[in-house]
Structure 1
Amino acid sequence: MNKMKVFKVLKKIVVTFFILICTLLIVGLIYEKHSRYKSEKIMPNGQLVEVANHKLHYYKKGENGPTVVFEAAFDPAGHLQWYNLQQEISKFATTISYDRSGILWSERGDNPKTGEKIAEELHSLLEQANVSKPYILVGHSLGGMLLRSFVSKYSDEVSGVILVDSQTPNDEEYLSPELYSMVNQGLPAGFLKFANATGVARLMFKGMFPDTGDYKYQNTVMPTLIHKSAHGVLEEQEEMNNLKKEANKIKSFGSIPLSVISAGDSQRFSSFIKDENLKMEMVNAWEMMQKDLLKLSTNSKQIRVPNSGHYINQDQPDVIIGAIKSMISETKLK
């Protein structure tokens, strides 16, 4: 008799839990559908151009001086990561940031996610934006690695390159198997697809930018448009090994001026590496990788930023602004 009562109680708990989960899923699906409807009312802050039979979105700020082109990291925020910097740099230069295909307001298109095709799409975008050449290229993390293809393909249109805590394509050579596996495991694709369909992703990425007035615009737009970026980012993750192999074949920028800006906060990996030995290994390996980036050009220099994490554009934006000013001066662009 007692066993029967226990069984009935457990059965009620399971049924109640099941009903609760189903209710939350239904609410989530309705919330997501409503949010996507609302997102269509948010107009792009830049312009759309036709590239390879699909539309790419770019944000231009400034009309004078040389053209500074920004390439974003492996990041669903796309050009929004550069938005605040552009407000400052546009005071002395023409600035262009954009969303790679499948990110934010840019359509996916049919081109494969290769460094070469990404470079071709960016080049076509710049041609249509009718901005002056040559360009100063600024790439953060994955964006820095992707710029290798652009430099290789259009070197005569590049006056300088600034890599902001850039990813290196041959990181396996610097890391132990355990650490390499840890840092390259990627995002949980299945969960993120589920989260994107049920509205959970909007909550996850709500605090992507600092909770300050300076980032009010990004914090408003990013959660609303996350569903547009989710598939594009996951596709880039799936192609990461191929992107690395492709970039690793490009070993030199010749004598094009190169500035390597490197984060130096020793605790910046603490959020995902708990083991102190592995954390120290990562710090040391990253420093070696950053130094080796200098070999890309015969005219290179490194700028270390001791108190910054990976997102130097948020932690120490003045360092990037200073590096761009210095690059303009060095290349004698007006």
Structure 2
Amino acid sequence: MKTFLKWTKRIGLGLVTLLILLLLIGFIFERISRNAAEKIKPDGQFVEVDDHRLHDYKKGNGGPTIVFETAFDPAGHLQWYNIQQELPSSYTSISYDRAGILWSERGKNPKSGEEMAKELHLLLEKAKAPKPYILVGHSFGGTLVRFFVNKYPKDVAGVIFVDSQCPDDERYLSPELFKMVNQGLPGGFLKFANTFGLVRLMFKGMFPNNKQYEYQNTIMPALLYKSADAVLEEQDQMRSIKKEASKIKSFGNIPLYVLTAADKKRFDSSIKDRKLKTEMLSAWNKMQKDFLLLSTESKQILVPNSGHYINQEQPKVIESAINDMVNKILPQK
């Protein structure tokens, strides 16, 4: 018995020593990686917003300006990078990194929907982006777009939701499903993991592993340590942001396109229970259809063979919707 306890203690001590060694290696690796990331040259420009700088990526030189708002996502403007390369240069497109994400500085403004709309509006003004704006919001970005439209309606010529999040989804979901889909990321663990280089490994495959996304797959993991804290901060404020966004009921007659992922298998990997998965499909479709009530000029575009990330799986549909919206508001184009 004594021998058994002796060996148990030795094994336990060995495992603890190994764990400490691995964490130390991870910590050193993370510091080396961060130093290397600081040398990466930003692909866009910086605009001074209040007490900090926001980074944006701008293409084209005419009006209107297509403004991209990213989802709850550490990749920032990179989610729109490829799409911007395909849009005509006869009008401007701007994607950006929200405060604290990728190359954007965090600043002191709160992470509220209204403050983020103010920051984006100031960025567009200082970047001399031609008006009017067509806002394109994916998922959580669709929720944030509501604040911009509500605050600056005269500057907005059109809105495109890309499989947008529904801010009052609790009305559509059973308590069990609502809790499941809104449980969020494990913030405490991810902050710990970010210190020791584990987050880089966990979120390494956010973009498809092919040549088309080679740039994103290089930049996003390298700068993930910067984005992680800001994304988790947005998660902490998500409930209040959604609550305020749900009060914005109308865009008036501003044209609205609702792009909806239509692959019936899109929830297979995230929801295993068949009953809950069926409920989610039905509820999501209902939420998307109800978005049409936001505008007197709205239409839904179903996107077959696509999951939630339409911008990666079916980018041509987004490009087509943007071009169609431009032609709608500026027929001469």
TM, length-normalised to structure 1: 0.98
* Correspondence for 2:250: 252
Alignment of 1:174-193 (within 5 A): 174-193=172-191
Amino acid at match of 2:163: D
Displaced runs of 4 or more, over 2 A:
90-93
Contact 2:142 2:162 (8 Å CA) reproduced:
yes
Contact 2:44 2:56 (8 Å CA) reproduced:
yes
Unmatched 5+ residue regions in structure 2?
A: none
* Correspondence for 1:115: 113
Amino acid at match of 1:184: N
* Correspondence for 1:139: 137
Contact 2:260 2:301 (8 Å CA) reproduced:
yes
Residues 132-156 of structure 1: CA deviation (Å, up to 9, x unaligned): 1001110000001100010011100
* Correspondence for 2:276: 278
* Correspondence for 1:266: 264
Residues 162-212 of structure 1: CA deviation (Å, up to 9, x unaligned): 000000110000000000000000000011101100000111111110000
Deviation at 1:106, TM superposition (A): 0.7
* Correspondence for 1:42: 40
Residues 205-235 of structure 1: CA deviation (Å, up to 9, x unaligned): 1111000000000000011000000000000
Distance in 2, Cα, partners of 1:279 & 1:89: 36
- Where 1:239 maps in the other structure, the secondary structure is helix
Amino acid at match of 2:73: D
* Correspondence for 2:322: 324
The one of 61, 84, 91 equivalent to 1:63 is 61
Contact 1:49 1:55 (8 Å CA) reproduced:
yes
- Where 2:217 maps in the other structure, the secondary structure is helix
- Where 1:76 maps in the other structure, the secondary structure is coil
**Aligned length in residues:** 332
Contact 1:142 1:166 (8 Å CA) reproduced:
yes
Residues 302-333 of structure 1: CA deviation (Å, up to 9, x unaligned): 00012100000111011101101110111126
Classify 1:39/1:302 alpha carbon distance in 2 versus 1 (closer, same or farther; 3 Å). same
Contact 1:63 1:90 (8 Å CA) reproduced:
no
TM, length-normalised to structure 2: 0.98
Aligned alpha-carbon RMSD (Å): 0.9
* Correspondence for 1:239: 237
1:73 aligns with 2:79: no
Contact 1:258 1:299 (8 Å CA) reproduced:
yes
Residues 211-261 of structure 1: CA deviation (Å, up to 9, x unaligned): 000000000001100000000000000000100011011100000000000
Residues 245-288 of structure 1: CA deviation (Å, up to 9, x unaligned): 11011100000000000001111112221001101100100000
1:96 aligns with 2:128: no
Distance in 2, Cα, partners of 1:64 & 1:270: 42
Deviation at 1:92, TM superposition (A): 4.2
1:30 aligns with 2:60: no
Deviation at 1:93, TM superposition (A): 2.4
Distance in 2, Cα, partners of 1:92 & 1:75: 29
Moved more, 82-91 or 72-81: 82-91
* Correspondence for 1:153: 151
